[in-house]
Amino acid sequence: MERRRSLRAPGPFNGWWLGTERTRIRVIDLSVGGCLVFVDPQHPQGGPPRSVAPDASDAATLQIDLGAAGIIEVVAVSFSPRPGGTAVTFLNVSTRTADAIRRTVDAQQA
């Protein structure tokens, strides 16, 4: 059985994939290390944002609304495409952002 490195908040959370346009996303399974990102079904294009390659040069910026903990901004790369979305890992997460994610995980675990 594989064990995950970080506790996770199941979500869902609203957010935005920032690129050439701002795409609404839904985030689930959030941890300090990453999450699953799916395109909001109400997004007018009806498809996922550009998938990023697992290469830091193709990193994308995500904004995630954590509710009481505020809106965080993270840089992420895709490592496992899924239908309608992708699993991402976060790069260089600041202490402030990591603390906000941990507070959110703790609140959803309670």
Note the pLDDT tens digit of each residue in 54-110: 344 578 899 999 999 999 999 999 888 777 778 899 999 999 999 999 999 999 886
Tens of pLDDT, residue by residue over 47-69, are 444 443 334 457 889 999 999 99
**Looking at residue 84, what is its pLDDT?**
74
Give the dihedral of Cα atoms 35, 36, 37, 40; nearest 10 deg.
Answer: -120
Question: What pLDDT does residue 42 have?
Answer: 61
In terms of pTM, does the model score above 0.85? Answer: no
pLDDT on residue 1: 39
Domains of the chain: 13-109 (2.40.10.220)
What is the rounded CA–CA span in Å between residue 96 and residue 93?
8
Residue 52 confidence (pLDDT): 38
| Structure tokens given for 37 | 């990102």
43, pLDDT greater than 70: no
Residue 45 corresponds to which tokens in the numbers above?
A: 């294009």
Cβ-count burial of 29 within 10 angstroms (0-12 exposed, 13-18 middle, 19+ buried)?
A: middle
Q: What is the average pLDDT across 17-37? A: 90
Tell me the C-alpha to C-alpha distance, in Å, between residue 8 and each of 4, 44, 57, 82, 88: 9, 30, 27, 19, 14
Cβ 98 vs Cβ 32: under 8 Å? yes
Per-residue tokens: 21: 């346009």
Q: Which residue has the higher pLDDT, 98 or 3?
A: 98
Give the model's pLDDT for residue 79. Answer: 83
